[in-house]
Amino acid sequence: MESKCDVFVTGRIHLTIPWTSLYTSPVTAVLEDVYILVSPVADRKYDAAKDTARRNAIKRQILEKLENPQGQNKDGTSVEDQGFTEKLMATIVNNIQISVHRIHIRYEDVTNPQHPFSCGVMLKTLTAETTNVHWKPTQIDGNATRIHKLVQLEGLSFYWNPYLHEQSMVRNQVNTSIWRVGVW
**pLDDT per residue as tens digits for the range 146-175:** 889 999 999 999 999 888 776 667 766 665
Query: CA-to-CA distance for 162 and 47, rounded, in angstroms?
Result: 28
Q: Which residue has the higher pLDDT, 110 or 128?
A: 128
Q: Name the burial class of residue 99, with classes exposed (0-12), middle (13-18) and buried (19+) by CB atoms within 10 angstroms of its CB.
A: middle
**69 pLDDT more than 80:** no
pLDDT score for 184: 47
C-alpha distances out from residue 108 to 11, 115, 168, 171, 174, Å: 22, 11, 11, 8, 13
Share of the chain above pLDDT 90, in %: 33
Least confident of 73-77, 100-104, 132-136: 73-77
130 forms beta bridges with 149
Residue 93 has pLDDT above 80, yes or no: yes
pTM of the entire predicted model: 0.69
Please report, to the nearest 10 degrees, the dihedral formed by the alpha carbons of residues 49, 54, 57, 59 taken in order: -100
Higher-confidence position of 43 and 136: 136
Q: Count CB neighbours of 27 within 10 A.
A: 16
Q: Does the structure show a pLDDT above 60 at 41? A: yes
Question: What end-to-end distance do the CA atoms of the chain give, in Å?
Answer: 28
Domain ranges in the chain are: 3-180
In whole angstroms, give the CA distance from residue 38 to residue 32.
19
